[in-house]
Amino acid sequence: MSESEKKERYYFILQRLLNSTPGNPGLEEIKKHAKRLSELSSRHHFIPQYFVEGFCGSDGLLSVYNKAEDRISTRRIPPKSIFFEDGRHTIDLDGLKLSMIEDFLFKDIDSRLAPYLRQMRQKPIDDSLLTTDNQVNLSVFMIDLFWRNPRTDTVAQDLFQRAQLHWTDEINGLPLQDIEREAAYKSDPIYQKLARFGIQAQSMKHMTDDQEKGHTHSKFWEFKKAMFVLGDFPIVFSKFPETHAELATLDRFLPVCSTRIYAEQELIGTSFLKKDALIMNILQIMQAKKFVVAADENLLRQSVSTYKAMKEDESLFAAKKYLFSRIR
């Protein structure tokens, strides 16, 4: 089956799901169209592989710190082997398993954003790198990265449960609220997973509305050798975003590869030193739930050792305050 044929079938299934009633989504018709979509993926990455590739060493591999077990692995691994959950985006339609969310929706997002991220790693840091188009796509990438992450599962579920769902009346075309149908949607695991895309869309609208206020400045900094690690929750915000508006406007840092970091801040500094990079790594480890990776094992060991020392003397939050206040 060609990619265009697959896309047509994915579109059909998605439309059938969105326009149906939970418990009665036209299973037989969906199954008929799903039969030829037999390649069910299971390794669903919450940090895209193309992004993780920017933190590999010259051998194309990564050193890994398992924070949950407090150990650095002696075996280096490829980017496909980290930052994923088996079956995270798989949906189950009465025994029919589909990975269309991963294989179609996320794959489409990744194919659109990957070229921009690669540019931001490879092109010289000058005005041509911070075009409006590049900044918008990097903001979209960060929104995707935020809502795709397991750490935001509870936040997304809470937003979905508090949302008011509306449909269009088939007779008069007016908005229609159906309390029973809404309850059915909110309790259905399939629609809970599909709802994440609606939440992302809301965040992107706020990004457009709020960033037009013009108070955010963007900047890249670069080092000649690998200086940055990558944790399983990569964006370091001045505080954890609690609203769509905060996700669009809060000060934040994001390492885009092992040698380069990006910042969006209300007031921005003129330098980013080696000690700042180490603090950034410490915050990456602090935020991580399970895994942190790096191109260089020595860099990873130094970062983990410093993190433990600062945790011991309870200076982690002071380090975060320093990172965000040093530029003011």
pLDDT per residue over 86-135, tens digit each? Answer: 988 887 776 777 777 777 778 888 999 999 999 999 999 988 898 888 88
Structural domain containing residue 63: 54-82+113-325
- Mean pLDDT of the 222-230 span: 97
- Check residue 311 and report its DSSP letter: H
Q: What is the DSSP string of 55-85?
A: G--TTS-BEEEETTTTEE-SS-B-GGGSSEE
Report which of 263, 269, 260, 243 is spatially closest to residue 251, judged by C-alpha positions.
Answer: 263
Q: Note the pLDDT of residue 15.
A: 59
Q: What is the DSSP string of 112-131?
A: HHHHHHHHHHHS-SSTTTS-
Q: Note the pLDDT of residue 231.
A: 98
Q: Note the pLDDT of residue 95.
A: 72
Tokens 């993780």, residue located: 52
- Mean pLDDT of the 147-163 span: 91
296 in a structural domain = yes
pLDDT per residue over 245-282, tens digit each? Answer: 889 889 999 999 999 999 988 877 678 999 999 999 99
305 in a structural domain = yes
- pLDDT > 80? residue 206: no
- pLDDT > 50? residue 214: no
Count of domains observed in the chain: 1
108 in a structural domain = no
Report which of 183, 169, 156 is spatially closest to residue 21, judged by C-alpha positions.
Answer: 183
pLDDT per residue over 303-314, tens digit each? Answer: 999 999 999 999
Do 323 and 269 touch, CB atoms closer than 8 A?
no
Chain centroid to CA 68: 21
Q: Rounded CA gap, 312 and 92, in Å?
A: 45
Q: Which two tokens stand for residue 125?
A: 């840091």
104 in a structural domain = no
Q: Rounded CA gap, 145 and 140, in Å?
A: 9
pLDDT per residue over 3-53, tens digit each? Answer: 666 566 555 566 556 555 565 555 556 655 555 555 567 789 999 999 999
206 in a structural domain = yes
- pLDDT > 90? residue 175: no
Do 100 and 10 touch, CB atoms closer than 8 A?
yes
Label residue 317 exposed, middle or buried (CB < 10 Å: 0-12, 13-18, 19+). exposed
**How many helices (H) does the chain have, and how many strands (E)?**
13, 14
36 in a structural domain = no
Pairing between β-strand 43-45 and β-strand 96-98 as defined by DSSP bridges: unpaired
Q: What is the dihedral of CA 155, 156, 157, 161, to 10 degrees?
A: 100
- Mean pLDDT of the 276-294 span: 97
- Predicted TM-score of the model (pTM): 0.86
120 in a structural domain = yes
pLDDT confidence bin for 328, thresholds 50/70/90: very low
Report which of 109, 308, 297, 272 is spatially closest to residue 201, judged by C-alpha positions.
Answer: 109
196 in a structural domain = yes
Q: Note the pLDDT of residue 102.
A: 77
Q: Note the pLDDT of residue 314.
A: 94
The three-state secondary structure class of 294 is strand
pLDDT per residue over 49-85, tens digit each? Answer: 999 999 999 999 999 999 999 999 999 999 999 999 9
